[in-house]
Amino acid sequence: MNKSELVSAVAETADLTKAQAGAAVDAVLEAITASLKSGDEVRLVGFGTFLVTKRAAGEARNPRTGETIKTKASLAPKFKAGAGLKSAVNG
């Protein structure tokens, strides 16, 4: 499912126009992004948790040349599925 399919599904489920559903989906994604940028977690009970983790600096290899390069420490967004989502997926 891509974003436009998600917007269509939200519009149908919530009885909204596609424009209203698109604005709602965009607002949710912007709120999650803003929260993660500020270092907070987003917990949606029964669905899952969005969080930011730290990646340590290290070494990687260029697969084409075999050259070793150093990677910088960085932050990475992650998602942990909640029990409700896991049970829905597993039937």
What distance, in Å, lies between the first and last C-alpha atoms of the chain?
A: 20
Q: Does 34 map to a domain?
A: yes
Per-residue pLDDT of the chain (91 residues; tens, 9 = 90+): 999 999 999 999 999 999 999 999 999 999 999 999 999 999 999 999 999 999 999 999 999 999 999 999 999 999 999 999 999 999 8
Q: Is residue 33 in some structural domain?
A: yes
Q: Which residue shows structure tokens 């290290």? A: 58
Please tell me the predicted confidence (pLDDT) of residue 91.
Answer: 86
The residues facing 48 across adjacent strands are 44, 81
Count structural domains, the chain.
1
pLDDT of residue 61: 94
Quote the crossing angle between the two packed helices 18-37 and 3-14, to the nearest 10°: 120
Its domain, for residue 4, covers 1-39
